[in-house]
């Protein structure tokens, strides 16, 4: 289990095409609130012929934010760049100039055993070149994961390689829509991705392999309007949490407060967690009912849960 609060701090990750010319203005005007992170995407949301243009707009966006930050105070989300290649991880910080200081890290799409080596080399290189830390967030969405004969080997190969830079891996993310695409699936507003068993079994294997050592974030929910979209998102968030996911990608600003609320820690869980971590270890009993006498606490088996609750409380708050 990750033992530092910053691994839990991504919150709702709002995805935006990097060629969106309005994003800097929206941040400066605080249109999205103050409880989200931002992903500027150069991959699937950009047509192949327009990547250079999108990079140029991204540089302009970051320069605008950097200059504004020098002159005024406003909420600046953690900003990540979803790249297409390891080369972009090397080149973009050079081109960003001092605005690179606003970039928290890079999102690595479709990570698999074939491309992980070049991404690791790029992550090491860019972190050696500058005094700041550039984190990475790999996405598990490659076609190899749909092959039962190769899945376990592929996941463990990836995990073994990532151990070289484990401290730089802020989150593991899952590409729910990419995995659904392989099978031709698409859920409705009233359906959860966890009910699509070929995909949810892949999720379960990802959590099994990575869940004890990394934070894993939940898949995107693509609905943001119409009848029932909020109810569907809340249902899927409940199942995300039960399956071991922390945080979720947001495809639209309207989703941000719902994701934030889902991971806000209840007061009872917060107090319960503190009691477990402050257990009197000199007592003969390492099992006891909680303060409300609603459930049984065991010091040896609930400490990981309790520590996670305190990290979540720090990132999402307590209600």
Which pLDDT does position 66 carry in this prediction?
Answer: 98
Which pLDDT does position 304 carry in this prediction?
Answer: 94
Please work out, in degrees rounded to the nearest 5, the angle formed at the alpha carbon of residue 277 by the alpha carbons of 245 and 7.
35
Can you say how many angstroms the Cα of residue 272 is from the centroid of all Cα atoms in its chain? Answer: 26
Answer whether 258's CB lies under 8 Å from 224's CB.
no
Which pLDDT does position 169 carry in this prediction?
Answer: 98
Question: What are the contacts of 59-63 at 24+ separation with CB within 8 A?
Answer: 59/95, 59/96, 59/99, 60/21, 60/24, 61/18, 61/20, 61/21, 61/23, 61/24, 62/96, 62/99, 62/100, 62/102, 62/103, 63/96, 63/97, 63/99
Which pLDDT does position 187 carry in this prediction?
Answer: 95
Which pLDDT does position 300 carry in this prediction?
Answer: 86
Which pLDDT does position 299 carry in this prediction?
Answer: 83
For the segment 240-296, what is each residue's pLDDT rounded down to a tens digit? Answer: 999 999 999 999 999 999 999 999 999 999 999 999 999 988 787 788 878 788 888
Which pLDDT does position 290 carry in this prediction?
Answer: 81
Q: What's the rounded Cα separation, in Å, for the pair 182 and 185? A: 8
From first to last of its 319 residues, the chain has per-residue pLDDT tens of: 777 899 999 999 999 999 999 999 999 999 999 999 999 999 999 999 999 999 999 999 999 999 999 999 999 999 999 999 999 999 999 999 999 999 999 999 999 999 999 999 999 999 999 999 999 999 999 999 999 999 999 999 999 999 999 999 999 999 999 999 999 999 999 999 999 999 999 999 999 999 999 999 999 999 999 999 999 999 999 999 999 999 999 999 999 999 999 999 999 999 999 999 999 887 877 888 787 888 888 888 999 999 999 999 999 999 9
Instruction: State both tokens at 214.
Output: 């990394």
């Amino acid at each position: 289990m990750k033992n530092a609060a910053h691994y839990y701090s991504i919150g709702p990750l709002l995805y935006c095409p990097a060629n969106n010319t309005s994003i800097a203005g929206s941040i400066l005007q605080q249109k999205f609130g103050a409880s989200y992170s931002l992903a500027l995407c150069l991959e699937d949301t950009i047509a192949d012929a327009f990547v250079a243009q999108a990079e140029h707009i991204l540089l302009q966006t970051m320069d605008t934010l950097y200059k504004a930050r020098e002159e005024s105070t406003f909420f600046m989300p953690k900003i990540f760049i979803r790249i297409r290649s390891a080369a972009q991880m090397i080149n973009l910080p050079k081109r960003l100039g001092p605005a690179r200081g606003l970039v928290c890290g890079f999102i690595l799409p479709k990570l698999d055993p074939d491309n992980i080596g070049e991404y690791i080399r790029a992550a090491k290189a860019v972190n050696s070149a500058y005094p700041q830390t550039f984190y990475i967030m790999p996405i598990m969405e490659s076609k190899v994961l749909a092959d039962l004969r190769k899945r376990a080997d592929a996941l463990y190969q990836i995990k073994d390689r990532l151990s070289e830079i484990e401290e730089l891996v802020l989150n593991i993310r899952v590409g729910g829509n990419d995995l659904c695409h392989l099978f031709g699936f698409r859920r409705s507003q009233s359906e959860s991705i966890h009910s699509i068993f070929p995909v949810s079994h892949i999720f379960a294997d990802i959590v099994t392999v990575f869940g004890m050592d990394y934070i894993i974030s939940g898949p995107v929910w693509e609905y943001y309007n119409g009848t029932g979209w909020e109810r569907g998102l809340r249902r899927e968030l409940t199942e995300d949490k039960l399956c071991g996911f922390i945080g979720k990608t947001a495809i639209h600003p309207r989703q941000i407060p719902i994701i934030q609320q889902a991971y806000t820690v209840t007061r009872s869980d917060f107090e319960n967690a503190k009691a477990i971590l402050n257990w009197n270890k000199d007592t003969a009993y390492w099992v006891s009912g909680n303060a409300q006498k609603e459930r049984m606490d065991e010091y040896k088996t609930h400490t990981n849960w309790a520590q996670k609750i305190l990290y979540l409380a720090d990132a999402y708050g307590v209600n």
